[in-house]
Amino acid sequence: MNELEKIAEYFIVFNDNDTEKEFLQKCLKQHENVIESNNNDIIKIFHLSIIFTEVQNRINNLENNKMNDLNCVDSSILDKIRNSEKIGNKLEHDLAFTDNTYIEIASEIAFNSVHDYKIRNSHDDSELCKIHFQEGAVKETGVNGIFMEDIISICINRLENFQNSDFRCRENAVAITKLEETLMWLRKRTLNRQKRGVQGTYQK
């Protein structure tokens, strides 16, 4: 068994179509895998968080299904989401704030998300750079853009360089850890899709 197969066996694949019994059995199995592993306690605690995340996802899915069944989604909320993603609008986020730059949405939603963003100078609105993400499934459209993992890896590299300088700090260290955790969850998503044989396709 190669390393990729070991990882795929260690991390249980949770599906939205699992029954409640199947979901609980998978939670127990993931718990057993973590407890019986040779990892240190900190890594075990980190991996046990997978179960809590899946439970939260399950709750969210149940709530969303209930909303859909009752057909009670407020149209004003949907309109607000659609309007916020229009070309030319600024990307708004409570924590994404800087005095010097802002992010502009540069394409309509396609394949479930926006793929183009422009970074502009806040002082004169000049374009500093444009980001184009992969558009469509790789097996169907080929590689035509960058991936979220690319941006995250660049940020990790910059922070690690700062940590090797006089500007090292606890905040940088925590940020690196959280970005690495983000990569882990995205990797787990990829492994789950590979295990189901749907990676690189339009299948769920």
Residue 168 CB contacts under 8 Å (≥ 6 apart), including other chains: 162
3-state SS of the chain? CCHHHHHHHHCCCCCCCCCHHHHHHHHHHHHHHHHHCCCCHHHHHHHHHHHHHHHHHHHHHHHHHHHHHHCCCCHHHHHHHHHHCCCCCECCCCCCCCCCEEEEECCCCECCECCEEEEEECCCCCEEEEEEECCCCHHHHCCCCECHHHHHHHHHHHHHHHHCCCCCCHHHHHHHHHHHHHHHHHHHHHHHHHHHCCCCCCCC
**pLDDT for the residue 55:** 79
- Per-residue confidence in pLDDT tens, the chain, 204 aa: 555 566 656 777 777 777 877 878 888 888 888 888 888 877 777 777 777 777 777 777 776 665 554 454 455 555 555 555 678 888 877 777 778 999 999 988 887 888 999 999 999 999 999 999 999 888 888 999 999 999 999 999 999 999 999 989 999 999 999 999 999 988 888 888 888 787 767 677
Q: Please, which residues have CB within 8 angstroms of residue 109's CB and are 6 or more apart in sequence?
A: 85
Could you give the C-alpha distances from 81 to 85, 91, 101, 133, in angstroms and in order?
Answer: 7, 12, 23, 20
Instruction: Give the residue carrying structure tokens 């909303």.
Output: 67
pLDDT at 70: 44
Tell me the C-alpha distance between 145 and 131, whole Å: 8
The length of the chain in residues reads: 204
Cβ(49)–Cβ(57) under 8 Å? Answer: no
Query: Looking at this protein, which amino acid is placed at residue 190?
Result: T
Q: What is the pLDDT of residue 147?
A: 94
